[in-house]
Amino acid sequence: PPDVAQLGRSTWTFLHTTAAYYPLKAPPETQNNMMALLKSLSLLYPCSWCADDFQKDIKYNPPDVSGREGLSRWLCERHNSVNLKLGKERFECTNEKLDERWGEGPKN
């Protein structure tokens, strides 16, 4: 079986980084591609109980793929729901914190 923690860290890195570099305002085709990526991930993720919970979470909280800020915050909240389940610390889902951790950070 896969190393669920290592898989999770890698997957969150990919997802949060992709969101941090997503267009500020995504064109329709980009939105469709992101929606397909998230749906596919929830179906193909190689940890079956993680995938089941992610599918349910996505169903009740549909992805906001309109642009960078909405997508980053939406993902942050999904990650927080896994953090809660695992007893991990909550991340503060502000655009400032998210950009600092996963994007280019504050401009100087």
User: Contact residues for ligand FAD (CB under 6 A)?
Assistant: 4-5, 8-9, 11-12, 16, 45, 49-50, 53-54, 76, 79-80, 82-83, 86, 88, 91, 101
Pick the closer one to ligand FAD by CB: 29 or 60.
Answer: 60
How far, CA to CA in Å, does 86 sit from each of 20, 37, 40? 25, 24, 23
How far, CA to CA in Å, does 41 sit from each of 12, 17, 54, 55? 12, 16, 9, 9
Pick the closer one to ligand FAD by CB: 29 or 104.
Answer: 104
Q: How far is the CB of 47 from ligand FAD (least distance, A)?
A: 6
Q: Which residue's Cβ lies closest to ligand FAD?
A: 8
Pick the closer one to ligand FAD by CB: 28 or 60.
Answer: 60
How far, CA to CA in Å, does 28 sit from each of 19, 62, 63, 80? 16, 16, 14, 27
Closest-CA residue to 42 (of 60, 20, 28, 25): 60
Pick the closer one to ligand FAD by CB: 29 or 44.
Answer: 44
Q: How far is the CB of 28 from ligand FAD (least distance, A)?
A: 25
Q: How far is the CB of 104 from ligand FAD (least distance, A)?
A: 15
Vertex 45 angle, CA 40 and 47, to 5°: 155
